[in-house]
Chain A
Amino acid sequence: MDFKIRAAKQEDCKEISRMIIELAVFEKMQDQVKISTQELERDGFCSNPRFECQVAEVSEEHKSSQGYTVVGYTLYFYTYSTWMGPTVFMEDLYVMPEYRGKGIGKGLMSKVAQVGKEHQCSRLQLTVLDWNTRSLDFYIMKGARDMTASEGWHALRFDGEALDKLAAEAPKD
Protein backbone atom coordinates (compact mmCIF):
# COMPACT_ATOMS: atom_id res chain seq x y z
CA MET A 1 0.00 0.00 0.00
CA ASP A 2 1.40 3.43 -0.91
CA PHE A 3 1.57 6.10 1.71
CA LYS A 4 3.03 9.59 1.92
CA ILE A 5 4.89 11.09 4.89
CA ARG A 6 4.60 14.87 4.95
CA ALA A 7 4.87 17.79 7.36
CA ALA A 8 1.55 18.43 9.11
CA LYS A 9 -0.47 21.51 8.17
CA GLN A 10 -2.77 23.41 10.49
CA GLU A 11 -5.79 21.68 8.89
CA ASP A 12 -4.42 18.31 10.02
CA CYS A 13 -4.86 19.18 13.71
CA LYS A 14 -8.35 17.67 13.83
CA GLU A 15 -7.00 14.29 12.64
CA ILE A 16 -3.94 14.59 14.88
CA SER A 17 -6.22 15.29 17.88
CA ARG A 18 -8.23 12.20 17.03
CA MET A 19 -5.09 10.06 16.88
CA ILE A 20 -3.65 11.58 20.08
CA ILE A 21 -6.75 10.29 21.87
CA GLU A 22 -6.49 6.88 20.13
CA LEU A 23 -2.89 6.60 21.35
CA ALA A 24 -3.85 7.69 24.87
CA VAL A 25 -6.61 5.04 24.90
CA PHE A 26 -4.03 2.42 23.86
CA GLU A 27 -1.74 3.65 26.68
CA LYS A 28 -4.72 3.37 29.07
CA MET A 29 -4.45 7.05 30.03
CA GLN A 30 -7.19 8.74 28.01
CA ASP A 31 -8.44 10.64 31.07
CA GLN A 32 -5.15 12.56 31.04
CA VAL A 33 -5.85 14.18 27.65
CA LYS A 34 -6.88 17.76 28.33
CA ILE A 35 -5.83 19.51 25.17
CA SER A 36 -8.20 20.59 22.37
CA THR A 37 -7.73 20.83 18.58
CA GLN A 38 -7.67 24.65 18.91
CA GLU A 39 -4.83 24.53 21.44
CA LEU A 40 -2.86 22.16 19.19
CA GLU A 41 -3.35 24.58 16.29
CA ARG A 42 -2.28 27.52 18.44
CA ASP A 43 0.79 25.77 19.87
CA GLY A 44 2.01 24.09 16.68
CA PHE A 45 1.29 26.66 14.02
CA CYS A 46 2.05 30.01 15.62
CA SER A 47 5.16 32.16 15.04
CA ASN A 48 7.04 30.26 17.77
CA PRO A 49 5.80 26.65 17.43
CA ARG A 50 6.20 24.42 20.46
CA PHE A 51 6.43 21.25 18.38
CA GLU A 52 6.61 19.87 14.85
CA CYS A 53 4.51 17.12 13.39
CA GLN A 54 4.70 14.72 10.43
CA VAL A 55 1.66 12.79 9.24
CA ALA A 56 1.23 9.62 7.16
CA GLU A 57 -1.44 9.84 4.48
CA VAL A 58 -2.98 7.21 2.23
CA SER A 59 -5.01 7.73 -0.94
CA GLU A 60 -8.85 7.85 -0.93
CA GLU A 61 -9.10 4.25 -2.14
CA HIS A 62 -7.21 3.08 0.95
CA LYS A 63 -9.08 5.18 3.46
CA SER A 64 -9.87 3.63 6.85
CA SER A 65 -13.12 1.86 7.73
CA GLN A 66 -14.30 5.21 9.14
CA GLY A 67 -13.16 7.22 6.12
CA TYR A 68 -9.83 8.65 7.34
CA THR A 69 -6.86 9.16 5.00
CA VAL A 70 -4.48 10.56 7.63
CA VAL A 71 -3.55 7.32 9.35
CA GLY A 72 -0.42 8.00 11.42
CA TYR A 73 1.54 10.84 12.99
CA THR A 74 4.64 11.73 14.93
CA LEU A 75 4.97 14.80 17.17
CA TYR A 76 8.45 15.91 18.19
CA PHE A 77 10.46 18.92 19.39
CA TYR A 78 14.05 20.01 19.90
CA THR A 79 15.71 19.67 23.27
CA TYR A 80 19.19 20.26 24.62
CA SER A 81 21.68 18.00 26.29
CA THR A 82 24.37 19.67 28.39
CA TRP A 83 26.58 16.74 27.41
CA MET A 84 26.22 16.82 23.63
CA GLY A 85 24.13 19.80 22.52
CA PRO A 86 20.93 19.78 20.41
CA THR A 87 18.79 16.65 20.54
CA VAL A 88 15.33 15.76 19.22
CA PHE A 89 12.61 14.31 21.42
CA MET A 90 9.97 12.16 19.73
CA GLU A 91 6.97 12.68 21.99
CA ASP A 92 4.39 10.63 20.08
CA LEU A 93 4.56 8.03 17.28
CA TYR A 94 1.31 6.38 16.25
CA VAL A 95 -0.10 4.37 13.35
CA MET A 96 -3.77 3.34 13.31
CA PRO A 97 -4.04 -0.42 13.99
CA GLU A 98 -5.40 -1.32 10.52
CA TYR A 99 -2.33 0.33 8.89
CA ARG A 100 0.41 -1.33 10.91
CA GLY A 101 3.00 -3.68 9.45
CA LYS A 102 3.34 -1.64 6.23
CA GLY A 103 6.41 0.43 7.11
CA ILE A 104 4.48 3.57 8.09
CA GLY A 105 5.88 3.71 11.64
CA LYS A 106 9.38 3.23 10.29
CA GLY A 107 8.74 5.94 7.68
CA LEU A 108 7.55 8.45 10.28
CA MET A 109 10.45 7.76 12.61
CA SER A 110 13.02 7.98 9.79
CA LYS A 111 11.59 11.39 8.95
CA VAL A 112 12.17 12.54 12.54
CA ALA A 113 15.75 11.21 12.36
CA GLN A 114 16.25 13.10 9.07
CA VAL A 115 14.80 16.36 10.40
CA GLY A 116 16.88 15.94 13.56
CA LYS A 117 20.01 15.49 11.46
CA GLU A 118 19.20 18.71 9.57
CA HIS A 119 19.05 20.47 12.95
CA GLN A 120 22.43 19.08 14.06
CA CYS A 121 20.85 16.79 16.64
CA SER A 122 23.16 14.07 17.94
CA ARG A 123 20.47 12.04 19.62
CA LEU A 124 16.79 11.12 19.43
CA GLN A 125 15.06 10.44 22.74
CA LEU A 126 11.65 9.02 23.56
CA THR A 127 9.78 7.35 26.40
CA VAL A 128 7.88 4.05 26.23
CA LEU A 129 5.67 2.34 28.79
CA ASP A 130 7.31 -0.73 30.29
CA TRP A 131 4.44 -3.08 29.33
CA ASN A 132 4.37 -1.92 25.69
CA THR A 133 6.52 -4.83 24.42
CA ARG A 134 5.66 -4.42 20.77
CA SER A 135 6.88 -0.79 20.79
CA LEU A 136 9.89 -1.63 22.95
CA ASP A 137 10.93 -4.29 20.39
CA PHE A 138 10.35 -1.87 17.48
CA TYR A 139 12.66 0.78 18.98
CA ILE A 140 15.32 -1.62 20.23
CA MET A 141 15.60 -3.08 16.73
CA LYS A 142 16.45 0.43 15.51
CA GLY A 143 19.26 0.80 18.02
CA ALA A 144 17.42 2.44 20.91
CA ARG A 145 18.97 1.93 24.34
CA ASP A 146 16.84 1.72 27.46
CA MET A 147 18.40 4.45 29.64
CA THR A 148 16.07 3.66 32.53
CA ALA A 149 17.21 0.02 32.67
CA SER A 150 20.89 0.58 31.84
CA GLU A 151 21.60 3.85 33.69
CA GLY A 152 18.69 4.12 36.10
CA TRP A 153 17.11 7.32 34.72
CA HIS A 154 13.62 8.02 36.03
CA ALA A 155 11.23 10.63 34.67
CA LEU A 156 9.84 12.95 37.36
CA ARG A 157 7.20 15.62 37.27
CA PHE A 158 5.78 18.55 39.26
CA ASP A 159 2.27 19.39 38.18
CA GLY A 160 -1.07 20.69 39.35
CA GLU A 161 -1.08 21.54 43.05
CA ALA A 162 2.55 20.59 43.60
CA LEU A 163 3.68 23.05 40.90
CA ASP A 164 1.39 25.84 42.12
CA LYS A 165 2.55 25.36 45.71
CA LEU A 166 6.19 25.46 44.70
CA ALA A 167 5.63 28.59 42.59
CA ALA A 168 3.79 30.38 45.38
CA GLU A 169 6.89 30.08 47.55
CA ALA A 170 9.19 31.61 44.91
CA PRO A 171 11.52 34.39 46.07
CA LYS A 172 10.32 37.90 45.25
CA ASP A 173 12.54 40.06 43.01
Chain B
Amino acid sequence: MANFILRKAEPNDVSDILRMIKELAKYEEMEEQVILTEKELLEDGFGDHPFYHCFVGEVPKEKQSSEGFTVVAFAMYYFTYDPWIGKLLYLEDFYVMEEFRGFGMGSHILRLLSETAVKTRCSSMHFIVAENNTPSIEFYKRRGASDLSSEEGWRLFAIDKEDLKKMTTPK
Protein backbone atom coordinates (compact mmCIF):
# COMPACT_ATOMS: atom_id res chain seq x y z
CA MET B 1 0.00 0.00 0.00
CA ALA B 2 1.77 3.11 -1.20
CA ASN B 3 -0.87 5.75 -1.04
CA PHE B 4 -1.50 7.73 2.03
CA ILE B 5 -1.15 11.41 2.74
CA LEU B 6 0.25 13.20 5.75
CA ARG B 7 -1.35 16.54 6.53
CA LYS B 8 -1.89 19.03 9.32
CA ALA B 9 -4.82 18.06 11.53
CA GLU B 10 -8.00 20.11 11.20
CA PRO B 11 -10.78 20.71 13.76
CA ASN B 12 -12.88 17.96 12.12
CA ASP B 13 -10.17 15.44 12.93
CA VAL B 14 -10.56 15.63 16.75
CA SER B 15 -12.92 12.68 16.89
CA ASP B 16 -10.41 10.46 15.04
CA ILE B 17 -7.52 11.85 17.09
CA LEU B 18 -9.26 11.05 20.38
CA ARG B 19 -10.14 7.58 19.11
CA MET B 20 -6.47 6.95 18.31
CA ILE B 21 -5.27 8.49 21.62
CA LYS B 22 -7.39 5.87 23.37
CA GLU B 23 -6.12 3.09 21.07
CA LEU B 24 -2.53 4.08 21.85
CA ALA B 25 -3.24 4.26 25.59
CA LYS B 26 -4.82 0.79 25.37
CA TYR B 27 -1.67 -0.49 23.64
CA GLU B 28 0.34 1.06 26.50
CA GLU B 29 -2.05 -0.69 28.95
CA MET B 30 -3.13 2.64 30.46
CA GLU B 31 -6.41 3.45 28.71
CA GLU B 32 -8.28 4.25 31.92
CA GLN B 33 -5.97 7.25 32.34
CA VAL B 34 -7.40 9.06 29.29
CA ILE B 35 -9.87 11.62 30.62
CA LEU B 36 -9.55 14.19 27.84
CA THR B 37 -12.72 14.91 25.80
CA GLU B 38 -13.21 15.91 22.14
CA LYS B 39 -14.34 19.36 23.26
CA GLU B 40 -11.12 19.87 25.24
CA LEU B 41 -8.97 18.57 22.38
CA LEU B 42 -10.71 21.00 20.04
CA GLU B 43 -10.29 24.02 22.35
CA ASP B 44 -6.73 23.13 23.25
CA GLY B 45 -5.51 22.53 19.71
CA PHE B 46 -7.57 24.85 17.57
CA GLY B 47 -8.31 27.81 19.83
CA ASP B 48 -6.48 31.14 20.14
CA HIS B 49 -3.48 29.68 21.96
CA PRO B 50 -2.92 26.11 20.81
CA PHE B 51 -1.22 23.85 23.31
CA TYR B 52 -0.22 21.38 20.64
CA HIS B 53 0.27 20.75 16.92
CA CYS B 54 -0.81 17.61 15.12
CA PHE B 55 -0.23 15.73 11.84
CA VAL B 56 -2.56 12.97 10.69
CA GLY B 57 -2.10 10.14 8.20
CA GLU B 58 -5.03 9.58 5.88
CA VAL B 59 -5.79 6.84 3.35
CA PRO B 60 -8.24 7.03 0.44
CA LYS B 61 -11.76 5.67 0.99
CA GLU B 62 -11.05 2.42 -0.83
CA LYS B 63 -8.26 1.67 1.68
CA GLN B 64 -10.32 2.47 4.80
CA SER B 65 -9.84 0.42 7.97
CA SER B 66 -11.98 -2.61 8.75
CA GLU B 67 -14.22 -0.28 10.81
CA GLY B 68 -14.43 2.35 8.08
CA PHE B 69 -11.82 4.89 9.24
CA THR B 70 -9.68 6.82 6.75
CA VAL B 71 -7.68 8.81 9.32
CA VAL B 72 -5.37 6.07 10.48
CA ALA B 73 -2.33 7.70 12.12
CA PHE B 74 -1.40 10.81 14.07
CA ALA B 75 1.50 12.57 15.71
CA MET B 76 1.01 15.27 18.34
CA TYR B 77 3.85 17.58 19.28
CA TYR B 78 4.65 20.92 20.89
CA PHE B 79 7.68 23.05 21.54
CA THR B 80 9.61 22.91 24.80
CA TYR B 81 12.84 24.49 26.04
CA ASP B 82 16.17 23.23 27.26
CA PRO B 83 18.21 25.94 29.00
CA TRP B 84 21.37 24.23 27.72
CA ILE B 85 20.54 24.15 24.00
CA GLY B 86 17.33 26.11 23.43
CA LYS B 87 14.12 25.24 21.63
CA LEU B 88 13.11 21.57 21.33
CA LEU B 89 10.34 19.72 19.56
CA TYR B 90 8.60 17.40 21.98
CA LEU B 91 6.75 14.46 20.48
CA GLU B 92 3.84 13.70 22.82
CA ASP B 93 2.05 10.93 20.90
CA PHE B 94 2.88 9.03 17.75
CA TYR B 95 0.60 6.24 16.53
CA VAL B 96 -0.26 4.24 13.43
CA MET B 97 -3.28 1.91 13.56
CA GLU B 98 -2.17 -1.71 13.67
CA GLU B 99 -3.56 -2.75 10.29
CA PHE B 100 -1.64 0.10 8.62
CA ARG B 101 1.79 -0.64 10.07
CA GLY B 102 4.70 -1.90 8.03
CA PHE B 103 3.96 0.31 5.01
CA GLY B 104 6.30 3.17 5.83
CA MET B 105 3.74 5.59 7.32
CA GLY B 106 5.47 5.74 10.69
CA SER B 107 8.85 6.43 9.09
CA HIS B 108 7.35 9.18 6.96
CA ILE B 109 5.71 10.81 9.97
CA LEU B 110 8.96 10.71 11.93
CA ARG B 111 10.85 12.26 9.05
CA LEU B 112 8.23 15.00 8.68
CA LEU B 113 8.52 15.74 12.40
CA SER B 114 12.30 15.97 12.25
CA GLU B 115 12.07 18.26 9.21
CA THR B 116 9.67 20.46 11.22
CA ALA B 117 12.15 20.46 14.10
CA VAL B 118 15.02 21.56 11.87
CA LYS B 119 12.90 24.20 10.05
CA THR B 120 11.76 25.72 13.36
CA ARG B 121 15.30 25.90 14.69
CA CYS B 122 14.97 23.15 17.27
CA SER B 123 18.20 21.55 18.41
CA SER B 124 16.60 18.26 19.31
CA MET B 125 13.43 16.19 19.29
CA HIS B 126 12.51 14.57 22.63
CA PHE B 127 9.86 12.03 23.63
CA ILE B 128 9.24 9.23 26.13
CA VAL B 129 8.71 5.53 25.52
CA ALA B 130 7.78 2.80 27.99
CA GLU B 131 10.73 0.43 28.42
CA ASN B 132 8.59 -2.65 27.74
CA ASN B 133 7.58 -1.22 24.35
CA THR B 134 10.42 -2.98 22.55
CA PRO B 135 9.13 -2.54 18.95
CA SER B 136 8.95 1.24 19.42
CA ILE B 137 12.30 1.50 21.18
CA GLU B 138 13.94 -0.47 18.37
CA PHE B 139 12.16 1.66 15.73
CA TYR B 140 13.61 4.82 17.29
CA LYS B 141 17.09 3.45 18.03
CA ARG B 142 17.45 2.17 14.45
CA ARG B 143 16.98 5.76 13.40
CA GLY B 144 19.61 7.16 15.75
CA ALA B 145 17.70 8.01 18.96
CA SER B 146 19.56 7.96 22.29
CA ASP B 147 17.95 6.70 25.48
CA LEU B 148 18.63 9.47 28.03
CA SER B 149 17.24 7.41 30.90
CA SER B 150 19.61 4.49 30.29
CA GLU B 151 22.59 6.52 29.08
CA GLU B 152 22.48 9.52 31.43
CA GLY B 153 20.22 8.36 34.26
CA TRP B 154 17.29 10.78 33.77
CA ARG B 155 14.07 9.70 35.51
CA LEU B 156 10.66 11.17 34.79
CA PHE B 157 8.59 12.34 37.78
CA ALA B 158 5.00 13.52 37.96
CA ILE B 159 3.10 15.43 40.65
CA ASP B 160 -0.67 15.30 40.34
CA LYS B 161 -3.51 17.68 41.19
CA GLU B 162 -4.02 16.84 44.87
CA ASP B 163 -0.36 17.23 45.74
CA LEU B 164 -0.09 20.37 43.59
CA LYS B 165 -2.98 21.87 45.56
CA LYS B 166 -1.19 21.11 48.82
CA MET B 167 1.88 22.97 47.53
CA THR B 168 -0.11 26.09 46.74
CA THR B 169 -1.98 26.15 50.06
CA PRO B 170 -0.21 28.44 52.54
CA LYS B 171 0.53 26.76 55.89
Q: Are A142 and B159 in contact (CB under 8 A)?
A: yes
User: A125 to chain B: closest CB distance in Å?
Assistant: 5
User: Is A2 an interface position by the 8 A CB rule?
Assistant: no
User: Is A130 an interface position by the 8 A CB rule?
Assistant: yes
User: Is B68 an interface position by the 8 A CB rule?
Assistant: no
Q: Which residues of A contact B44 (CB under 8 A)?
A: 80, 85-86
Residue of A nearest to B119 (CB): A167
- Bound-complex Cα distance A51 to B112 (A): 25
Q: Which residues of A contact B153 (CB under 8 A)?
A: 129-131
Q: Majority SS of interface residues in chain B?
A: mixed
A146 touches which of B6, B76, B140, B155 (Cβ 8 Å): B155
User: Is A35 an interface position by the 8 A CB rule?
Assistant: yes
Q: Which residues of B contact A16 (CB under 8 A)?
A: 83
Contact with A along B82-107 (1 / 0, CB 8 A): 11111100101100000000000000
Residue of A nearest to B155 (CB): A148
Q: Are A32 and B149 in contact (CB under 8 A)?
A: no
- Bound-complex Cα distance A33 to B148 (A): 16
Residue of B nearest to A132 (CB): B153
Q: Which residues of B contact A158 (CB under 8 A)?
A: 114, 117, 124-125, 140, 143-145
Q: Are A154 and B148 in contact (CB under 8 A)?
A: yes
B114 touches which of A77, A131, A148, A170 (Cβ 8 Å): A170
Interface size on A, residues (CB 8 A): 74
Chain B residues touching A, range: 35 or more
B155 touches which of A109, A143, A149, A156 (Cβ 8 Å): A149
Q: Which residues of B contact A122 (CB under 8 A)?
A: 160-161
Q: Are B52 and A80 in contact (CB under 8 A)?
A: yes
User: Is B61 an interface position by the 8 A CB rule?
Assistant: no
Q: Are B111 and A166 in contact (CB under 8 A)?
A: yes
Q: Which residues of A contact B166 (CB under 8 A)?
A: 142-143
Q: Known interface pairs A34-B84, A40-B83. Does A127 touch B155 (Cβ–Cβ under 8 Å)?
A: yes
B144 touches which of A50, A85, A125, A162 (Cβ 8 Å): A162
Q: Known interface pairs A83-B34, A113-B164. Does A125 touch B85 (Cβ–Cβ under 8 Å)?
A: no
User: Is B64 an interface position by the 8 A CB rule?
Assistant: no
User: Is B130 an interface position by the 8 A CB rule?
Assistant: yes
B112 touches which of A78, A117, A170 (Cβ 8 Å): A170
Q: Are B163 and A143 in contact (CB under 8 A)?
A: yes
User: A80 to chain B: closest CB distance in Å?
Assistant: 4
Q: Known interface pairs A127-B155, A144-B157. Does A77 touch B52 (Cβ–Cβ under 8 Å)?
A: no
Q: Known interface pairs A84-B33, A124-B159, A154-B147. Does A110 touch B92 (Cβ–Cβ under 8 Å)?
A: no
Known: A91-B82, A144-B159, A154-B148. 7 other contacts (CB 8 A): A32-B85, A83-B21, A91-B80, A117-B168, A153-B131, A155-B148, A171-B112
